[in-house]
Amino acid sequence: MTRLATTLMMLMLSATALAGHGQDAGSPGHGTHGPLFFHKLGIQIGDFLVVIIPLLIIMVPLVRLALKRRHEAVVKMIDEARAVHDAAKARLEAAEEHMRHIETEMEDIRKSFREMGESERKSFETDAIATIQKMNREAEMRINQAGLAMQASLTADLVQRALDRVSDGLRAEGGKPVPADVVRRLTDIDA
């Protein structure tokens, strides 16, 4: 558009220059108010119209065509931009939905880890209690066994001492028979 305006301005100036050619400053009618001035102005306007009308006849359809093409190109670019915007918006919504789904999955995973941890803790507690009870039973059994072994050892030692005493007493009395109730009393451990 700027080129067209510049071209028209140049043509108008050149028409003015051509219309004024051949007149010198000393000729009558030269000036701004004489009858020659209006004659020159008419010629200048005529020259301008002779140049501008064909130019407009040629240029207007070309400018219209250029503007129409530019309009179509702009409309096409706007449609492409809208399509890209809609696609980007759809991708954004899909990404947001995917993020919500991932957050839900992460929360489910955290919850299952908490549940598994609680279950594992309870399992450890149960195993520890079972192990402690087993160790208590084993210790009690060992203590009982040691007690029984000690009791058997003490009983055997006591019987041995009693027999040694009886033997010593018999030797001291010179082989006299021991009454039956004494032997029974010494040999009867449960009584």
DSSP string, 162-177: HHHHHHHHHHHHTSPP
Q: Would you say residue 66 has pLDDT above 80?
A: yes
Distances (CA, A) of 102 to 25, 27, 71, 106, 108: 93, 97, 46, 6, 10
Report, as an integer, the average pLDDT of 56-61.
87
Please give the radius of gyration of the chain, using alpha carbons only, rounded to the nearest integer.
66
Whether pLDDT at 120 is above 60: yes
Q: Per-residue pLDDT for 65 more than 90?
A: yes
Lowest-confidence region among 81-95, 96-110, 128-142, 160-174: 160-174
Share of the chain above pLDDT 90, in %: 39
Higher pLDDT among residues 59 and 11, named by residue: 59
The predicted model scores a pTM of: 0.39
Share of the chain above pLDDT 70, in %: 75
- Computed over every residue of the chain, the mean pLDDT equals 81
Q: Is 81 within 8 Å of 48 (Cβ atoms)? A: no
pLDDT of amino acid 25:
46
